[in-house]
């Protein structure tokens, strides 16, 4: 059964006449996505410190935001770091849309969080977002002392498109000989082909739809020949051995549910430590909608506990 609070949110969005994502041009959808946060996200929790930063990226300066948890700003201890990559179909989202979940993760996990404002499609197509994600991780590692973080305890995490980019980063950093300490994958997109059964059973009616998925994919990676590139579809990577421990969270009424489960299974089959939890009553996006869907708080707490265990 769909969570009644998720059902109420869907009904409220219909009542308010909120248009479907795929019906809006990207610039308008980005503005709309930022404004929608007032409907679904709680007040910003206080943290120890927030710093807006700029790092060199592959195509010029890249905006980042560093959070230190409540109680951690006054001392110089090097904290573990979660590099957080926001969702939004590689097309929408920014530092503001995911400010609340980044604060929640910093406080709950007791770690620093570095949010990445990566380049978006259609202005910047695949693999721009991958390149920016890796640049942010590598910049953080190289500047660990100045940032007050522990270069040996860096995790990558994200939701939806951000989960995709975090999974890709874990593979890339393994290949570069700089393995991450953990990967937090929240309803990640792992297969650009969108062939898993949940893409059919959950295609309409649950916030993220088949039409929206085609819209986002078309802006990020319109060339079907690139869908099988592991940097686009980590599920199709030839080698998933030697990857960092993972927590994969999915939602029962999400088109991405099954490919998230498939990736968790593939990680486990390759010998990696992986925990998988499906919130059976939930919809895509619930992790960052805790004001409207309180069960999202349970997912956030689960993620925080996993980060604490992995990062120490």
DSSP assignment of 50-118 equals EEEEEEEETTEEEEEEEEE-TT-TTS-PPEEEEEEE--STTTS--TTTTHHHHHHHHHHHTSEEEEE--
Structure tokens at 42: 């709680």
Distance CA 205, CA 126 (A): 28
152, containing H or E segment: strand 149-159
Strands 60-68 and 112-116: antiparallel
The residues near 214 (Cβ < 8 Å, ≥ 6 apart) are 22
Contact 190, 166 (CB under 8 A): no
Contact 80, 244 (CB under 8 A): no
Structure tokens at 247: 């927590």
pLDDT at res. 73? 59
Distance CA 294, CA 95 (A): 23
- Which one of the listed residues 3, 191, 254, 258 is annotated catalytic? 254
39, containing H or E segment: helix 26-40
Q: pLDDT per position in the chain (312 positions), as tens?
A: 999 999 999 999 999 998 999 999 999 999 999 988 888 999 999 999 999 999 999 999 999 999 999 988 555 679 999 999 999 999 999 999 999 999 999 999 999 999 999 999 999 999 999 999 999 999 999 999 999 999 999 999 999 999 999 999 999 999 999 999 999 999 999 999 999 999 999 999 999 999 999 999 999 999 999 999 999 999 999 999 999 999 999 999 999 999 999 999 999 999 999 999 999 999 999 999 999 999 999 999 999 999 999 998
- Which one of the listed residues 124, 199, 219, 284 is annotated catalytic? 284
155, containing H or E segment: strand 149-159
Residue 254 is a catalytic residue: yes
Contact 311, 182 (CB under 8 A): yes
Cα 169 to Cα 165, 180, 243: the distances in Å are 6, 9, 10
- Which one of the listed residues 21, 160, 198, 233 is annotated catalytic? 160
Cβ count within 10 A of residue 119: 17
CATH architecture for segment(s) 4-311: 3-Layer(aba) Sandwich (3.40)
pLDDT at res. 38? 85
Measuring CA to CA, which residue among 151, 32, 49, 142 is closest to residue 102?
49
Domain ranges of the chain: 4-311
Distance CA 174, CA 242 (A): 7
Structure tokens at 57: 């990226």
Distance CA 154, CA 164 (A): 17
Cα 135 to Cα 25, 139, 169, 266, 275: the distances in Å are 28, 6, 10, 26, 27
Structure tokens at 83: 């590099």
CA 156 to chain centre: 9
The residues near 265 (Cβ < 8 Å, ≥ 6 apart) are 276
Distance CA 180, CA 98 (A): 22
């Amino acid at each position: 059964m769909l969570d009644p609070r998720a059902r109420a949110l869907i009904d409220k969005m219909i009542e308010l006449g909120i248009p479907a994502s795929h019906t809006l041009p990207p610039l308008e959808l980005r503005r709309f996505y930022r404004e929608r946060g007032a409907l679904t996200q709680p007040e910003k929790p206080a943290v120890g410190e927030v710093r807006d930063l700029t790092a060199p990226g592959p195509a010029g300066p890249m905006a980042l935001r560093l959070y230190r948890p409540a109680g951690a700003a006054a001392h110089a201890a090097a904290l573990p770091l979660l590099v957080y990559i926001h969702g939004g179909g590689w097309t929408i989202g920014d530092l503001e849309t995911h400010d609340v979940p980044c604060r929640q993760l910093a406080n709950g996990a007791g770690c620093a969080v570095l949010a990445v404002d990566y380049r978006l499609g259609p202005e910047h197509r695949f693999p721009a977002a991958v390149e920016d994600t890796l640049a942010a991780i590598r910049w953080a590692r190289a500047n660990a002392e100045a940032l007050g973080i522990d270069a040996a305890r860096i995790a990558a995490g994200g939701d939806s498109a951000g989960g995709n980019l975090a999974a890709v980063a874990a593979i890339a950093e393994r290949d570069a000989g700089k393995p991450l300490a953990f990967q937090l994958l929240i309803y990640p997109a792992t297969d650009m082909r969108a062939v898993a059964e949940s893409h059919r059973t959950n295609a309409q009616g649950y916030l993220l739809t088949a039409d929206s998925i085609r819209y986002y994919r078309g802006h990020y990676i319109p060339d079907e020949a690139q869908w099988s590139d592991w940097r686009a579809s980590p599920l199709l990577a030839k080698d998933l051995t030697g990857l960092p421990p993972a927590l994969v969270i999915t939602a029962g009424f999400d088109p991405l549910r099954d490919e998230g489960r498939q990736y968790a299974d593939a990680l486990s089959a390759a010998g990696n430590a992986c925990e998988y939890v499906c919130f059976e009553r939930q919809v895509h996006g619930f992790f960052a909608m805790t004001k409207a869907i309180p069960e999202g708080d349970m997912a956030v707490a689960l993620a925080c506990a996993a980060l604490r265990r992995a990062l120490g």
